[in-house]
Amino acid sequence: GKSIESVLKTEFHDFEDPDRMNALFRKSLVQLNGIPVNSEAALTKGVNATKAVSQDLPLKNMDIISRITHWHEPPVLVPEKIAVQKLSLPNKVVEHLSIRKACNDANSDFSIYCIDKPSSVPVHPTGPYLQNSLTIMVEAQEGLETRSLLPCHRLDRCTSGLTLCCTNPAVARCIQAQMNHKEVEKIYVARVKGKFPSKLIDHPPCNEKEKSLILKAGEFLYEAPIGVVDIKKGLRAVIEGGKPAMSKFRLLGYDFTSNTSLVECQPLTGRQHQLRVHLKELGFPIHNDVLYCDQVENRQRILKADVIKAVTTAIGSKVEEKGFSTDQIEAAREMCSCCQGEVEVAFNSAQLLQSGAIIDLHARKYIISFTTNKTQKKKADAIIHDESLGKIECKIDVPAWAKKFVNTNAELDVAMAEWLNALS
């Protein structure tokens, strides 16, 4: 197998710098199955060879590499209280889809938690985010058991809005199955740059990348394949040979002062960054989306100096550190970029709440349809009918930026009034 050093270099960016990697080895901060890797302290003191291993040692199946690190999390922007609503699955759905049978506990919770995720917050612990993630924060706020809240789907960290979670694994699997079977209608709102057309004639000619753009009852149906063009940045685009993707858009309002439009968006397929990519290709990128917009306005945001100060202030907070020696804790602090005043080395610009942390895209409403398959035999053939078990509608409030649109166009005023009325 590959050596310890080879795996660390290729799999973890923190080990790309040879000097930093060797320093981590010297300070006994990297271990193989609990034994320090190339620990200078162990080797120079003549400790038994089993107490330190070489970084050139080939790895075997089931070997575990661990690292002792001093942990910091990027800051996030959250309200005083995250909005949470609970919806119970109808008994008909619970019984017909055998959700109750899948539960061992007679007092199982068949609820869906409808959470208004703030922008800048990841849905679940990932990368440098642990406590500053949605599920962990909502568990603490709602008094739920740690690691009990299960997300049913994904929402980009920079996107805000409706996020569905459950505490019951059987309910979570049911919601995920409905999403996989395209039984969930998702409705977003976005603030985009430019005047989004309300009629097909308003839109400029389609470019070569666009497959189709049609208008029906005031809605644009746009179909164009999406593929990855930059793996490191996570950048996607409309490309030939990409995965099929279809979105629906409807103009709700236009603001002349900022030259921005409020658009209702509905992804009919589930490609990552789908709405962001399609809106960019149509020539109306989402406001403040640095990944898909060439020019981003400097709207009021937290100063980077204030964010860095917040991170460095948190360093002094009392943290209980169990299971580590004083030498290990001190060594980890010495190798910590944040503790050494290099916060901008530890976190990227978006993680420090600068450009890219927040975009004006908000998941507003999900309509979940529940069906069950009934098979009828007719001679030698089996006929499968889908029997509806009903629908549930999950929705949350819209962000402040979506409520500020005022129109002079009477036609748009009607559309906006209808939309705002539907929110209440």
Mention every residue, 6+ apart, whose C-beta is less than 8 A from residue 37.
4, 25, 30, 31, 52, 53, 54, 55, 65
Helix H or strand E segment including 2: none
According to DSSP, residue 61 is labeled: T
Helix H or strand E segment including 193: strand 184-193
C-alpha distance from residue 220 to each of 263, 272, 293, 360, 423 (Å):
11, 20, 21, 20, 22
The answer to whether 264 touches 188, Cβ cutoff 8 Å, is yes
The radius of gyration of the chain's CA atoms, rounded to the nearest angstrom, is 26
d(CA 73, CA 381): 59
Strands 361-378 and 160-166: parallel
- CB-CB neighbours of 379 under 10 Å: 5
The answer to whether 247 touches 222, Cβ cutoff 8 Å, is yes
d(CA 182, CA 269): 8
d(CA 163, CA 364): 9
Helix H or strand E segment including 156: none
Candidate list 19, 63, 109, 156, residue with the active-site label:
156
The answer to whether 90 touches 96, Cβ cutoff 8 Å, is no
Place of tokens 């999390």: 73
CA 378 to chain centre: 47
- CB-CB neighbours of 412 under 10 Å: 19
Place of tokens 């029997």: 387
Q: Which segments of 185-291 does DSSP mark as H helices, in order? A: 274-281
Please report the beta strands in 256-380, taking only residues with DSSP state E, as ranges in sequence order: 260-267, 361-378
Is 19 a known active-site residue? Answer: no
Catalytic residue positions, numbered? 156
